[in-house]
Amino acid sequence: MAYKIFDLVGKYAISAESGQKLYDQIHPVLLSGDPVELDFTGVQVFASPFFNIAIGHLLKDIPADNLNRLVEFTAINSDGWNVLERVIANAKHYYSDEQFRNAVDAAIAEQAATF
């Protein structure tokens, strides 16, 4: 199934809320083992909150090998690739290393308590 990201979020793929929109659509498809194409034609600006939710969070319950096999990214510019690659690397580390995940979660909780 193909998803036109511009139609979903516009030219700015930056917010966690936009990432959640994409995640909600592709997560069940990927869980069923069906491939998806993410077409970024027209998207000009990328930020990690978007990819953290839309793609990084998928690694919670979809193995990286399956994700690599099932998701095709098209028409994504070099800035988008750079952000995406960093998010995927961080998500792989986060979900594969329980000690690291606990440390990150504790640091975030501690930081949130200061607000």
How high is the pLDDT of residue 115?
80
pLDDT tens-place string over residues 19-32:
999 999 999 999 99
Alpha carbons 45 and 32: distance in angstroms, whole number:
30
DSSP 60-101: GTS-HHHHHHHEEEES--HHHHHHHHHHHHHHHHHHH-HHHH
Tell me the pTM. Answer: 0.92
How high is the pLDDT of residue 89?
96
Alpha carbons 70 and 91: distance in angstroms, whole number:
17
How high is the pLDDT of residue 54?
98
Q: What are the residue ranges in the chain where pLDDT is below 50?
A: none
